[in-house]
């Protein structure tokens, strides 16, 4: 039996995730997407992954950059998750961000961040599993995370 897409989305959505912003500097301006598919992969070497849809128009701009930032949003940053996940509009309008010397874009106030390069891409159905090597990272574990579950932004508790 092959489940149809709405059913797959509904059932996949039962798995709660965080929300990450994957972003970089494109022609001096920040560009990025929201991603609920962020997963830590390996400790040695330090690797993390994000699944990117082949339909993404922003990923082709990010994929060739020297550095890409991944910011794990806090519960207070739901508006940023909505804006970065929207198909239209200026995604970084009103978003406090910074860029590193290497050019990755990080969201200020996030609960964790990773400064990455692309290590590997694995074509998997209608997405690419993009594996990133982590060069620098930090976390503010006192910042509660934003949660995405059943197609809705939620908070813990
Ligand atoms: C909560 C949330 C999570 C998302 N997670 C992913 C994801 O893991 N992978 C992905 O390719 N797109 C994901 N998206 C969609 C992208 O953020 C973005 O809307 C999509 O890439 C289309 O924009 P683009 O054409 O500029 O790339 C998510 C959107 C939202 C709102």
Residue 60: its H or E element: helix 59-62
Q: Evaluate whether 38 touches 48 at the Cβ level (below 8 Å).
A: yes
Q: Which of 4, 56, 2, 11 is nearest to 151 (CA)?
A: 11
Give the span between the Cα atoms of 119 and 25, in whole angstroms: 18
What is the set of domains in the chain, with CATH numbers?
Answer: 18-151 (2.30.110.10)
Give the span between the Cα atoms of 93 and 118, in whole angstroms: 26
Per-residue pLDDT, 14: 98
Task: Check pocket membership of 51 for ligand 1, CB cut-off 6 A.
Answer: yes
For ligand 1, the distance from its centroid to the CA atom of residue 6, given in whole angstroms, is 16
The percentage of the chain sitting over the pLDDT mark of 70, rounded to a whole number, equals 99
Taking the mean position of all CA atoms in its chain, how far away is CA 122? 17
Q: Evaluate whether 144 touches 75 at the Cβ level (below 8 Å).
A: yes
For ligand 1, the distance from its centroid to the CA atom of residue 71, given in whole angstroms, is 14
Task: Check pocket membership of 85 for ligand 1, CB cut-off 6 A.
Answer: yes
Give the span between the Cα atoms of 4 and 75, in whole angstroms: 32
The percentage of the chain sitting over the pLDDT mark of 90, rounded to a whole number, equals 96
**Residue range 28-71, pLDDT digits in tens:** 999 999 999 999 999 999 999 999 999 999 999 999 999 999 99
**Closest ligand 1 atom, residue 59 Cα:** 27
């Amino acid at each position: 039996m092959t489940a149809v897409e709405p059913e797959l989305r509904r059932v996949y959505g039962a798995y709660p995730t965080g929300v990450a912003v994957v972003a970089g500097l494109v022609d001096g301006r920040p560009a990025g997407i929201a991603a609920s598919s962020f997963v830590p992969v390996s400790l040695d070497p330090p690797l993390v992954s994000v699944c990117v849809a082949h339909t993404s128009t922003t990923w082709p701009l990010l994929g060739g950059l020297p550095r890409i930032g991944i910011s794990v949003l806090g519960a207070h940053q739901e508006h940023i998750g909505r804006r970065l996940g929207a198909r239209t509009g200026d995604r970084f309008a009103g978003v406090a961000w910074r860029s590193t010397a290497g050019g990755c874009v990080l969201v200020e106030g996030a609960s964790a961040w990773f400064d990455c390069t692309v290590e590997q891409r694995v074509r998997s159905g209608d997405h690419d599993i993009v594996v990133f090597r982590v060069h620098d990272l930090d976390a503010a574990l006192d910042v509660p995370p934003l949660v995405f579950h059943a197609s809705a932004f939620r908070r813990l508790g």
